[in-house]
Amino acid sequence: NVQKYVETNGVNAPATALQDFKDGKIDSFRGMTHKELQQNDLKLVAMPYTVIGCVVLVVLVVFFVAKLPHTGAPDSDHDVHFGRTVKRLLTNPNYVGGVLAQTFYVGAQIMTWTFIIQYAENELGIDKATAQNFNIMAMVIFLCSRFVCTFFLKYIAPSKLLMILSAGAIAFMLGAIYIETLTGLYSMVLVSACMSLMFPTIYGLALDGVGEDAKLGSAGLIFAIVGGVFMTRFQGQILDMESFMGTTATRGSFFLVVLCFIIIAIYGYAASRFSKKRELAA
């Protein structure tokens, strides 16, 4: 184990012992191999999101089966039949695209904030406590940027702003993947600035033009949160590899986040075209 290895070899630096553990010079730590320890850490990260996903699923099921009172106008002739409403939503490409975009957005946000610590530790040798400060910095930037992006909505159409934010997020994440210095870590932190207004923007674009179906449609968009639960598992599997797409496993795992932002950018473009068609038809 690590303690016996340190006593035998005189290794005083924990970082050196940790590297030897990763290289296989130390067989086990607290009765677990390096791979088993990684799997255990992944379970600790995935469990909270799995629980959240299950709770959301239960709430959605209750929402579907419970008999809810109709809150519309008494003379409203809108069809509130559940099956027909779902059919209308599923045949609305703008709405379906919004649900998919929301799923990938939630996944991108969770993966970025969850594994930024591993990035700092594995690629730059930063200790966990210091790495957590960068995670906090990302969240603060996320909060502040939401006000800035809301201001820009006065001058830029939501769909175009979504494309701009997605392009910025892709650029910053690629910087984090390919820049092998502290600048790469700061680049990852700045991704949060681009993510700040994505969720409400996608939400609004997806419900554009659905009318009374928005009551059920909004539930589908919130349910997209479950998507983030599964994507962290995919990234965790990449982290267990030796390398990925020509770079280290840690850096390469963030290509999955880049893919998420590409899909969001495509939806922003599609939503822009949908909006123009509605204006021409009006």
Q: Is residue 78 part of a domain?
A: no
Band of pLDDT at residue 216, cut at 50, 70 and 90: confident
* pLDDT higher than threshold 80 for residue 152: yes
**Within a domain: residue 258?**
yes
In which domain, by residue range, is 131 found? 93-281
Please state at what angle helix 227-239 crosses helix 93-124, rounded to 10 degrees.
30
Contacts of residue 256, defined as CB under 8 A and 6 or more positions apart, other chains included, come to: 111, 231, 234, 235, 238
**pLDDT value, residue 41:** 67
Mean pLDDT, residues 205-211 taken together: 89
Number of domains composing the chain? 1
Residue 47 has pLDDT above 50, yes or no: yes
Confidence band of 254 (pLDDT split at 50, 70, 90): very high
In-domain check, residue 39:
no
Mean predicted lDDT score pLDDT of the chain: 83
CATH number of the CATH domain containing 227: 1.20.1250.20
Residue 111 lies in a domain: yes
Read off the pLDDT of each residue in 15-33 and give the average, rounded to a whole number.
65
pLDDT given at position 229: 72
Q: Is residue 257 part of a domain?
A: yes
Statement: residue 192 has pLDDT above 80: yes
In a domain, 88, yes or no: no
Q: Is the per-residue pLDDT at 246 higher than 70?
A: yes
Q: Is residue 247 part of a domain?
A: yes
pLDDT score of 17:
61
Tell me if 196 is assigned to some domain.
Answer: yes
